[in-house]
Amino acid sequence: MEKLFIYVISDSLGETGEQVAKAVVSQFDIKDYEIRRYPYVLDLEFLKEILNECKNDKAVVVYTLVDSTLSEYVRSFCQKQSIPNVDLVNPLMNAIISKTNLKPLREPGIIRKLDEKYFKRVEAIEFAVKYDDGKDPRGLTKADLVLIGISRTSKTPLSMYLANKNIKVANIPLVPESPLPKELFEIPSNKIIGLTNTPEKLNEIRQERLKVLGLSNTASYASMSRILEEIEYAQQVMKKLGCPVINVATKAIEETAGLILEIMKEQGIELNKDIK
């Protein structure tokens, strides 16, 4: 059998057509095949070039084109050239038109339109990664919110959760042996949230963490005396900063995040973010 070519033509990325093509080909014992994806086909001249190549390769055409002129051209060309073709968009679109009497937008790539909210969310997530765990204290003055707390008080997961709501969060671990960054004292205390946990819960979490890392559970990291020392140190720092404190012991990440947003609002911090 000669090599099978499948042309996937799309006005967006063409991922849908390619995945469908792969799924269908997998149902056959075909070893020699090639799927060629043509994304962002938005003008007729480009489309004509692709279809002429397709004719030479005797290919099967799969297309996801919402522009009626382009999709009709593919259908007509393939019919005249006896090229097998599958339209993955318009039959379903026509069915919805028939059911709803609504007019489609026919806007290419609309599902992937990158709006301002999307860019803000990406920026916030990148910010949270960059300024996680005190990697670069310079980020504290740029943050919408700063989380502080000892190890295993959910600083990182909370930072990422809030970042997905377009909030730029930096977090700083509180360790008795490590000096606090000067930037922490240069920002308003109402932009700082302290996180704490109960000694028992910290002991449990840290024991489990050591087990995952393959370390002995007798390490000082999980000892009750060390935990109490860290909690006392953290309390002193938070008192000095005058920031609100949340005990995360019995709270899910979503619940703690909700409390943080409420506190920020009460503190008069206008985040002006998408927090839905």
Task: Please report, for the chain, the start and end positions of each structural domain, with discontinuous segments joined by +.
Answer: 4-112, 116-266
Structure tokens at 257: 């995040």
Q: Report residue 12's pLDDT band, with 50, 70 and 90 as the boundaries.
A: confident
How many residues does the structure list for the chain? 276
Average pLDDT on 179-192 reads 96
State the pLDDT at residue 275.
46
Measured from the Cβ of residue 13, the count of other Cβ atoms closer than 10 Å reads 15
Which residues make up each annotated binding site? 149-156
Mean pLDDT rounded to a whole number for the chain: 92
**Placement of tokens 């930037």 in the chain:** 183
Q: Which of 137-146, 245-254, 263-272 has the lowest mean pLDDT?
A: 263-272
Which residues make up each annotated binding site for ADP? 149-156
Look at residue 274 and tell me whether its pLDDT is greater than 90. no
| Strand ordering across the sheet containing 4-10 | 33-38, 4-10, 60-64, 85-87
State the pLDDT at residue 106.
86
Distances in whole angstroms, Cα of residue 248 to Cα of each of 131, 202, 215, 243, 245: 21, 10, 25, 16, 10
Q: How far apart are CA 167 and CA 273, in angstroms?
A: 7
Strands 60-64 and 33-38: unpaired
What pLDDT, in 10s, does the model give residues 17-75? 999 999 999 999 999 999 999 999 999 999 999 999 999 999 999 999 999 999 999 99
What pLDDT, in 10s, does the model give residues 74-108? 999 999 999 999 999 999 999 999 999 999 888 87
Q: Report residue 219's pLDDT band, with 50, 70 and 90 as the boundaries.
A: confident
Q: Report residue 276's pLDDT band, with 50, 70 and 90 as the boundaries.
A: very low
Q: Do domains 4-112 and 116-266 have the same CATH topology?
A: yes
State the pLDDT at residue 136.
94
Provide the 3-class DSSP secondary structure of residue 202: helix
Measured from the Cβ of residue 77, the count of other Cβ atoms closer than 10 Å reads 18
- For 4-112, CATH gives 3.40.50
E-strand spans in the chain?
4-10, 33-38, 60-64, 85-87, 145-149, 169-173, 192-196, 245-247
**b/e per residue, 133-165, with b = 16+ CB within 10 A?**
ebeebebbeebbbbbbbbbbbbbbebbbbbbeb
116-266 architecture in CATH? 3-Layer(aba) Sandwich (3.40)
Radius of gyration of the chain (CA): 28
